[in-house]
């Protein structure tokens, strides 16, 4: 989709893209075919070496595929393929993987297949889709999020983003059960997680035997009833993607409500999200990853809206991109990270306001979306 940008906006995005290309051309040589998570002392370590099934292990791979397509430089593809092969070790650890197999293999094998037609990548993607489908609880009509015995009834807002793996599997095989599971989960999760004001809960709890809804938990935000910003971004982007795949208008309306809630709240903090929109006024903790994700979601959302509605969402996305770029991007080629002050969880200092790999990944995606150079990953 071509976005309606002023000349000044186009110049800003082009200039930023040049800075990102210059940085990643250097940092990619240092990061290589690793599976990074959080940068420490400006260096991304190979987190996947010790944690092969960790949910973030393919985000750098996704960035490499984006760069390969946008720049036509084969070195990026070569690194992405190496990571994809490394993930084969995770693909056989079925008792350690969870709902985030979508994040892992959409960013790796499925993107590879879409871009190159590699049949081995297709097989990897379909294996991952089978694992995700196997998490379906037919009594409650949901995908189980995590693996703990006490978590068998838990559904989380993040999983909206993983459903694309199931929709893709139906498109590839013609087997409708993948999409049927995705649609069933989307319906259950929307009913249990989305609030009337457009905000989102993080966790919904069901009885794993009867499927009865039991309540909501606070999760990674400030607490129960709060509004964790990354969860809000997952909802905004994920609901839009559900609509993209099943064309049910209810999901588009929910996505708009989630977007409007995010836009209204982020405007109060300079267009960059705090960890939780309903946390106390102090201390102030940012989560830039939520902002980067939300930008991508907003730019996906405008594709399905009438022309008259688009400026609200596109304008907000551009303001967020500018704010992230000017206040929280690190273009120093001596530093591995691109986006600073990402936060995994409100109440944990160890990974609060630190560089997190998926912040970089979604920032690059957002930039490439404005340039019409992005790939379909989700």
104 lies in a domain? Answer: yes
112, 158, 336, 374: the catalytic one is: 158
Cα 194 → chain centroid: 18
Share of the chain above pLDDT 90, in %: 99
Annotated catalytic residue, options 100, 276, 287, 360: 100
Residue 375 domain flag: no
Gap between the Cα atoms of 344 and 229, Å rounded: 11
Name the band, by pLDDT with cuts 50, 70 and 90, for residue 141: very high
- Give the CATH number for residue 135: 1.50.10.10
Q: Write down the pLDDT at residue 102.
A: 98
Determine, yes or no, domain membership for 378. no
Segment 227-270, tens digit of pLDDT? 999 999 999 999 999 999 999 999 999 999 999 999 999 999 99
Number of domains in the chain: 1
Q: Is 100 noted as a catalytic residue in this protein? A: yes
pLDDT at 202: 98
CA-CA distance, 82 to 74, in Å (whole number)?
13
* pLDDT over 70 percentage in the chain: 100
Q: What is the pLDDT of residue 195?
A: 98
Structural domain range at position 221:
7-370
Q: What is the mean pLDDT of residues 138-150?
A: 96
Q: Is 376 inside any structural domain? A: no
pLDDT category at 115 given cuts 50, 70, 90 is very high
Determine the Cα–Cα distance for residues 91 and 200; give it in Å rounded to an integer: 31
User: Count of residues for the chain?
Assistant: 378
**DSSP line for 83-133:** HHHHTHHHHT-TTT--TTHHHHHIIIIIHHHHHH--HHHHHHHHHHHHHHH
To the nearest 10°, the Cα dihedral for 254, 260, 261, 265? 160
C-alpha span between 301 and 235 (Å, rounded): 12
The answer to whether residue 142 sits within a structural domain is: yes
Q: In this predicted model, what pLDDT tens digit does every residue of 318-354 receive, in sequence order? A: 999 999 999 999 999 999 999 999 999 999 999 999 9
Rounded to an integer, what distance in angstroms lies between the CA atom of residue 109 and that of residue 125?
Answer: 6
The answer on pLDDT for 85 being more than 90 is yes
Residue 295: the pLDDT is 98
pLDDT at 221 over 90: yes
Distance (Å, rounded) from C-alpha 281 to C-alpha 160? 29
The pLDDT confidence band at residue 1, using thresholds 50, 70 and 90, is confident
182-200 pLDDT, tens per residue? Answer: 999 999 999 999 999 999 9
The answer as to whether 2 is a domain residue is no
The answer to whether the CB of 135 falls within 8 A of the CB of 112 is no
Average pLDDT over every residue of 273-297:
98
Mean pLDDT of 165-179: 98
Q: Across all residues in the chain, what is the average pLDDT? A: 98
State the average pLDDT over residues 154-183.
Answer: 98
Res. 2: pLDDT tops 90: no
**How much is the average pLDDT of 193-209?**
98
Nearest to 312 by CA among 239, 235, 361, 259: 259
Q: Which pLDDT belongs to residue 283?
A: 97
| Reported pTM | 0.98
């Amino acid at each position: 989709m071509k976005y309606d940008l002023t000349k000044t906006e186009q110049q800003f995005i082009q200039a930023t893209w040049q800075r990102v290309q210059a940085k990643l051309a250097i940092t990619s040589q240092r990061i290589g075919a690793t599976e990074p998570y959080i940068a420490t002392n400006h260096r991304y370590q190979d987190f996947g070496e010790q944690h092969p099934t960790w949910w973030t292990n393919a985000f750098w791979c996704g960035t490499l595929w984006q760069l390969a397509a946008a720049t036509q430089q084969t070195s990026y593809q070569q690194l992405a393929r190496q990571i994809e092969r490394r993930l084969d070790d995770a693909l056989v650890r079925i008792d350690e993987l969870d709902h985030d197999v979508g994040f892992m293999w959409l960013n790796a094998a499925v993107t590879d297949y879409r871009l190159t037609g590699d049949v081995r990548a297709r097989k990897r993607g379909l294996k991952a889709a089978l694992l995700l489908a196997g998490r379906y609880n037919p009594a409650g009509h949901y995908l189980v999020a995590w693996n703990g015995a006490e978590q068998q009834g838990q559904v989380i807002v993040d999983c909206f983003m993983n459903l694309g793996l199931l929709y893709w599997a139906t498109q590839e095989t013609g087997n409708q059960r993948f999409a049927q599971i995705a649609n069933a989960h989307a319906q259950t999760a929307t009913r249990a997680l989305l609030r009337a004001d457009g905000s989102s809960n993080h966790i919904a709890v069901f009885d794993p035997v009867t499927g009865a809804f039991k309540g909501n938990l606070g999760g990674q935000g400030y607490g129960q009833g709060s509004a964790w910003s990354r969860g809000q971004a997952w909802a905004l982007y994920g609901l839009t993607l559900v609509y993209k795949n099943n064309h049910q208008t209810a999901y588009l309306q929910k996505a708009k409500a989630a977007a409007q809630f995010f836009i209204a709240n982020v405007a109060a903090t300079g267009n960059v999200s705090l960890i939780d929109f309903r946390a106390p006024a102090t201390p102030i903790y940012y989560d830039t990853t939520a902002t980067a994700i939300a930008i991508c979601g907003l730019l996906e959302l405008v594709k399905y809206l009438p022309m008259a509605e688009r400026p609200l969402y596109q304008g907000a996305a551009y303001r967020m991109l500018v704010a992230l770029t000017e206040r929280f991007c690190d273009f120093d080629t001596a530093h591995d990270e691109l986006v600073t002050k990402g936060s995994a969880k409100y109440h944990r200092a160890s990974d609060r306001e630190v560089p997190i790999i998926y912040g970089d990944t979604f920032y690059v995606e957002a930039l490439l979306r404005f340039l019409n150079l992005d790939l379909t990953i989700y």
